A and B are shown apart, each in its own frame.
Chain A
Amino acid sequence: MSLPRIWAIAKKEFIHIYRDSRSLALVILMPAILMLLFGYAVTLDVKKVPMAVLDQDGTQESLSFVHRFSGSPYFHLKIFVQNEKEITQLIDEGKVKMGLVLPWNFSRMIKAGKKVPVQVLLDGTDSNTANIILSYVQAVARQYNQEKTFLKVERMGREKLNAPVEGRTRVWFNEDLESKNYFVPGLVAVIISIIGVLLTGQVIVREWERGTMELLISTPVKKGELMIGKLFPYFFLGLLDLTLAVFMGKWVFQVPLRGSITLLFCLSSIYIFVALALGLTISTVARTQILANQMAMIIGFLPTFLLSGFTFVIANMPLWLQIITYGIAPRYYVTILKEIFLKGADLSFLWTETLILVGMMIAGVWIATKSFKKELR
């Protein structure tokens, strides 16, 4: 193994990347854009739900009930309507997501200590948001009912009631339940897969298509040196983007990084190798650059984006799909990322995932080497 030769190959690869403005954009711009989007834009949080109210009672009692919604940051009382048709219209138009209908005898029933039917009309198109809105409404109702019930009991001449049970809740790891803390750690895996698989997928195929591979083979460069030399720049870029992503995540988006940065980088390096191995294999198997790109997208990028636990929680997927995700390397890496960032986990918690990733790395490198050797006859 000659170091100067490896470095020569690596340098040539660096120049290729540098000269190709689109690849460069992929390395620098794409991660930045994704970070911005998932750090600032994408959110599953539900706040300021636009709602309409049909208050057929119009008394102090009914208004005070409505105020429990309008005074809450979770709801945004947009309009008081005169009839149910208006609510229908507003929901159809998408101007409000829910409607509240209070009957004409609201105040009377409440004062009499009876239960009043209140209609909640909900736009179910976005099922997740609707679910969350529903839980908000139910929480408001629960609180209201408890107060009214206890009041009723007190008025019956009994002593003041206390709520029999309450929960004192502590939220760990993501105290404000912000979805960016959920997304940003997993995003690192996506960014690495862009570099590791998408870019690397071009490495060999490009030379074949341009006809420069024969030239390379005629030089004293050995296959091992070629492989290492070609992959080195992408490993370096992977680490670079990793650093950028971690830095932005922690300082720009204030995502907590509670674990050891060293561990993060070590385990990330393992994953970068896995990604590179995949990219290299694709590069030797594909006949054309376009095909390599497509394969990289299908095998590398999309599963990382959609099936790794980055966007959709694996535990909520149907069983057969969960089983499939066990074969996807990013799944384990996303777990590692989330645990190190949010839970401050150390190796003792992560040894299973680490072991599997190391196994995949060894297998990946072996496959890549075999298919690479086959190519360079």
Chain B
Amino acid sequence: MVGCQMFKRVRHLFVKELIQVLRDKRMRVVLIFPPIFQLIVFGYAANLDVKNIPTAVRDLDQTVESRDVIDRFRSSKYFKVVAYPQTPKEIEKLIRKGDVILSIEIPSGFSKKVKKGDTGTLQILVDGTESNTAMIALGYMGQILSDYSTAVVLKRLNQAGIVDFEEAGVDLQNRIWFNANLESRFFYVPGVIASIAFLIPIILTAQAIVREREIGTLEQIMVTPIRSWELMLGKTLPFALIGLFDVIMIALIGVFWFEIPFRGNPLILLLGNILFLLSSVGIGLFISTISSTQQQAQISTFFFMNPAFILSGFAFPLENMPQWLQYITYINPLRYFIIVIRGVFLKGIGLEILWPEITALAILGGIAILFSSLRFQKRMK
């Protein structure tokens, strides 16, 4: 029967592709290296936590009060006092060389001012080169100075016989959801899963088709009774499957090695993944139609991947990008899958919240496959 024949043909191709991929050393590299590399980088290197900020202190006052301030910085886990420069030029040199990021200068007369009830002003210099670090450092510094101020005020009141003085104002009770200790890898590692689900099917699909075209065996296959859409299925399904397999593998590594929480429903992840694979495979198919050689396919893939990754929310948050650029990200399927993945892993949310993203994935996937397969068929003629 026709149906049977069709199924058999696709299946033969499917198996052949699978064997070829697993046998080809190059393809194996593509399968193994990117996931491991990304996991290492984004699991360990990508770390925006700021600790042990190298600090320089210049104490021109040398009093109990000034030493109190310095001690507070010394005992803070955020700062590491590494230098005690004697002159402004030394401070400048330390910052220019990058040996310290923050420099605190306590002017002479500081303690007198504080004891009198005036304001003692510290001169702070911060290296703004790493803007992220600088901002966070200033935040921590503000906290230390504020604590010191409070302590001074309390002591003064105590001395005037007022004990049990309570600070007024708000007492912040922070509840940080989804990532209580604000670990960077909770943010990045789920993204790696999405990135691999994107990268590998695209590369494998494009390579597999273009290689056959280059060698000439594609024409040979066309001579067989196989239909072009069956050819397409046979050439894309194995890589979609590998993509699926990779996702599961990395998800497991993420959960058991990196201890990323998994709070949602795995079925939603599966659904999102399958829809997402439509896009990946579709894009791989498309790239195969615009490339005559594997070389070209590789460069085209590179060209496409870079902006796609940068504009996906994978490493750089999208919210603060200029509005016009955010509109562009709406056609990036990776953007939606990352939201789904983070939602399922960290937030534990379900379809009732993720349905827009799932729908977008379905639509984009459908368009990708449709468009690419039409091009593919046309090219095959």
Q: Which of B7-15, B248-256, B312-320 is near enough to bind chain A?
A: B312-320
Over the window 1-43 of chain A, the binary record of Cβ atoms lying under 8 Å from chain B Cβ atoms (1 yes, 0 no) is: 0000000000000000000001101100110011001101111
Chain B residues, CB < 8 A from A25: 299, 303
- Whether the pair B132, A93 counts as a contact (CB closer than 8 A) is no
Bound complex: CA of A166 vs CA of B152, how far in Å? 12
| Contact of A132 (CB < 8 Å), options: B26, B127, B135, B142 | B135
Q: Given contacts A114-B166, A165-B114, is CB(A182)–CB(B129) below 8 Å?
A: yes
- Whether the pair A164, B175 counts as a contact (CB closer than 8 A) is no
Over the window 331-350 of chain A, the binary record of Cβ atoms lying under 8 Å from chain B Cβ atoms (1 yes, 0 no) is: 00001001100110100010
Q: What distance in Å separates the Cβ of B186 from its nearest Cβ neighbour in chain A?
A: 6
Chain B residues, CB < 8 A from A290: 26, 207, 294-295, 298
Bound complex: CA of A202 vs CA of B172, how far in Å? 59
Chain B residues, CB < 8 A from A97: 319
Bound complex: CA of A197 vs CA of B148, how far in Å? 53
A148 interface residue per 8 A CB criterion: yes
Among B12-57, those with CB < 8 Å from A are 26, 29-30, 33, 37, 40-41, 44-51
B139 interface residue per 8 A CB criterion: yes
- Whether the pair B294, A122 counts as a contact (CB closer than 8 A) is no
Bound complex: CA of A122 vs CA of B172, how far in Å? 12
Bound complex: CA of A150 vs CA of B49, how far in Å? 34
B332 interface residue per 8 A CB criterion: no
B117 interface residue per 8 A CB criterion: yes
- Whether the pair B133, A127 counts as a contact (CB closer than 8 A) is no
Q: What distance in Å separates the Cβ of B114 from its nearest Cβ neighbour in chain A?
A: 5
In the complex, which residue of chain A has the Cβ closest to the Cβ of B293? A289
Q: Given contacts A120-B172, A170-B124, A338-B129, is CB(A165)–CB(B142) below 8 Å?
A: no
A121 interface residue per 8 A CB criterion: yes
Chain B residues, CB < 8 A from A321: 40, 44-45
- Whether the pair A131, B325 counts as a contact (CB closer than 8 A) is no
- Whether the pair A113, B295 counts as a contact (CB closer than 8 A) is no
- Whether the pair B45, A317 counts as a contact (CB closer than 8 A) is yes
Q: What distance in Å separates the Cβ of A177 from its nearest Cβ neighbour in chain B?
A: 4
Chain A residues, CB < 8 A from B172: 118, 120, 137-138, 141
Q: How many chain A residues touch B (Cβ–Cβ < 8 Å)?
A: 115
Bound complex: CA of A321 vs CA of B187, how far in Å? 19
Pick from B33, B143, B148, B347 the residue with the most CB of A within 10 Å: B347
In the complex, which residue of chain A has the Cβ closest to the Cβ of B132? A44
Bound complex: CA of A135 vs CA of B148, how far in Å? 17
In the complex, which residue of chain B has the Cβ closest to the Cβ of A180? B131
Chain B residues, CB < 8 A from A121: 175, 177
A173 interface residue per 8 A CB criterion: yes
B342 interface residue per 8 A CB criterion: yes
| Contact of B174 (CB < 8 Å), options: A29, A43, A122, A127 | A122
Bound complex: CA of A37 vs CA of B122, how far in Å? 39
- Whether the pair A297, B302 counts as a contact (CB closer than 8 A) is yes
Chain B residues, CB < 8 A from A219: none
In the complex, which residue of chain A has the Cβ closest to the Cβ of B42? A306
Which B residues are within 8 Å of any A CB, using their own CB? 26, 29-30, 33, 37, 40-41, 44-51, 69, 95-98, 104, 114, 117-136, 138-143, 145-146, 148-150, 152-153, 157, 160, 162, 166-180, 182-184, 186-187, 207, 294-296, 298-300, 302-303, 306-307, 310-311, 315-317, 319-322, 325, 339, 342, 346-347, 349, 353
Beyond A37-B307, A144-B170, A294-B26, 13 extra complex contacts between A and B, CB < 8 Å: A29-B303, A33-B307, A44-B316, A47-B320, A65-B170, A121-B177, A149-B153, A165-B114, A169-B138, A181-B128, A182-B132, A316-B47, A316-B51
Which A residues are within 8 Å of any B CB, using their own CB? 22-23, 25-26, 29-30, 33-34, 37-38, 40-48, 50, 65, 91-94, 97, 110, 113-132, 134-139, 141-142, 144-153, 156, 158-159, 161-175, 177-179, 181-182, 198, 202, 288-291, 293-294, 297-298, 302, 306-307, 311-313, 316-318, 321, 335, 338-339, 342-343, 345, 349
